[in-house]
Amino acid sequence: MNSAPVAGLIGLGAMGAGMAGSLRRAGYAPRVFDIRADVARAFAQGGGTACASPAELAAACDVVVSVVVNAAQTEAVLFGEHGCAAAMKPGSVFVMCSTVDPAWSVALEARLAALGILYLDAPISGGAARAASGEMTMMTAGRPEAYAVAEPLLNAMAAKVYKLGDRAGAGSKVKVINQLLAGVHIAAAAEAMALGLREGVDPAALYEVITHSAGNSWMFENRMAHVLAGDYTPLSAVDIFVKDLGLVLDMARASKFPLPLSSTAHQMFMQASSAGFAREDDSAVIKIFPGIELPAKN
C-alpha cells in the first residue's frame, strides 16, 4: 500500500458527513457515496469525488469506511447490487462503523477474509458535532495488517481510537455496552424530567440544578435540553435505541445474563416508537409519560 492510502466513505449521514470532512481536512480527497446522490455531489464540491455506487468507490480505494445504520445496510453496501465487496482490491480494508451484533461482526471478518479483504470492527461514538470536529471515539478491533493500512485514516477521523483486540468482535461488544448506558441514561433522564413536570417543578430550574449536582449525566444534560426547547428533530432517533438496546439484550441473552434496567429502558423506547415517535429524537421517550405538559417549541 502507498503511505497515503486512498480513502472512501459510504454514508453521509449525521456522523458520516463529519467523518468525511475530517478526512478532507487531514489532506485526503475522499471518494464518497450516499444513496442521496445530491448529498454526495454537494460534499464533493468542497473536495473529493462523488461515486455512483459502492462498487465504483471501492474499486479505487485502499480503505473503505462504512457509516450506515445497521447490519442489514452494511450487508447491502458490501454484497448487494453494485456492492463493494466484489470490487475491493486484495489487501484493502473495510472499516465497519455501525452498531451491530458482535457475533455478526466476527462472521463478517471471516467472510471478507475469504475474499482477501481486511476488516476492522470499528463502531463510533460521540455525536454529530464531535464527528465533524474529528473528536469522536472509535472502538476498534482487527488484525494488525488492517491497522497497518487504515490507522492514519482512523486517527484523522477520531480523537480516541481504542484498539480492543486483534480479531473482530471486541469493538462491537464495547459499543453495545456503551449503548446500554446511553439508552438507560436517556430513559432515566426522561423519567426524572417527567416527574418534575408532574410535580409542578419549573423545568428550566430543574435542569439548571441537576446539571450542577451529583445526579447529572451527559445524557441528561444533552437530551433534556432538547425537551426544554420542545425540539425533537432527530439527531439520534427513538428507533435507534429500539435497535441498540435490542442488541444489548440479545448479547446478554446468549449467556443468560440478566439486564433488568436495559430491559425496562428497551420497553420505554418500544412504547415511544409504537406511539408514533419512532423517527423523533430519542429524547421523545419522555412523551410516554401521562399527565404532563411538555415545554412548547421555542
Give yes or no for a contact between 173 and 149, defined as CB atoms under 8 angstroms apart: no
Separation of alpha carbons 27 and 24, rounded Å: 5
Strand bridging mode 118-121 / 136-142:
antiparallel
Separation of alpha carbons 133 and 245, rounded Å: 27
Give yes or no for a contact between 123 and 97, defined as CB atoms under 8 angstroms apart: yes
Q: Which of 160, 173, 175, 243 is catalytic?
A: 175
Number of CB atoms found within 10 A of residue 154's CB: 18
SS3 96: strand
Q: Which spans in the chain are helix H?
A: 14-25, 37-44, 54-59, 71-79, 102-113, 127-133, 144-157, 170-198, 203-210, 218-229, 238-254, 260-272
175 is catalytic: yes
Separation of alpha carbons 293 and 283, rounded Å: 15
Q: Given CA atoms 31, 36, 37, 42 in this order, what sign does their dihedral have?
A: negative
Give the residue numbers marked as catalytic.
175
